[in-house]
Amino acid sequence: MNIGQVAERTNLPAKTIRYYEDIGLVKPMRTENGYRAFRDTDLHKLTFLGRARALGFSIEDCRALLALYEDQSRASADVKRLATEHLVEIESKITTLQIMHDTLSTLVKSCAGDDRPDCPILKGLSSKEEIHRKNND
């Protein structure tokens, strides 16, 4: 199969697929004219990659997951460990964003948003202890 069709089926841009080959995640064959020729296994791998990336796994995590996916004698514990670590990362990102959100949302609420220059948001950004006093996480 040509890269265009693979792109369509996997919902990955052709550019991304070429990139994944570049970094060694897939190794499609080549036809005589130099075009990439993707087999079913390549398609499966790319689909797998697409899903793993959609769950926020890094490329290196994806590489490890792919190796486990291909290793029939893997231990599910190894997969679970990887996934759990990633889950913790996600949770920490959510926490960070939540704190940002709370702080900024407090500032936004306290701003009149009219044509006058007085602005609690700018004040909050320049001085520390103005509004941001309730998170001690």
Partner DNA sequence: GATAGGCATTCCAGCAACTGGAAGGTCAAG
Partner DNA sequence: CTTGACCTTCCAGTTGCTGGAATGCCTATC
Q: Which residues bind DNA (CB under 7 A)?
A: 2-5, 7, 13-16, 18-19, 32-36, 53, 58-60
Q: CA 96, CA 83: separation in Å to the nearest integer? A: 20
Smaller CB separation from DNA, 53 or 123:
53
Range 18-50 burial, b when 16+ CB lie within 10 A, else e: eebbeeebbebeeeeeeebebeeebbebbebbb
Smaller CB separation from its own copies, 35 or 122:
122
Does 97 engage in binding with its own copies (CB under 8 A)? yes
54 Cα distance to chain centroid:
6
Tokens of 24: 């060694």
Does 24 engage in binding with its own copies (CB under 8 A)? no
Residue 137 touches which member of its own copies, DNA, none, C-beta under 5-8 Å by kind:
none
Tokens of 61: 């995590």
Of the candidates 27, 30, 36, 31, the one whose C-alpha atom is nearest the C-alpha of residue 5 is 36
| Smallest separation (angstroms) from its own copies to the CB of 56 | 5
**Could you tell me which stretch among 7-15, 17-25, 34-42, 83-91 binds its own copies (CB under 8 A)?**
83-91
Q: Which of 72, 129, 133, 136 binds its own copies (CB under 8 A)?
A: 72
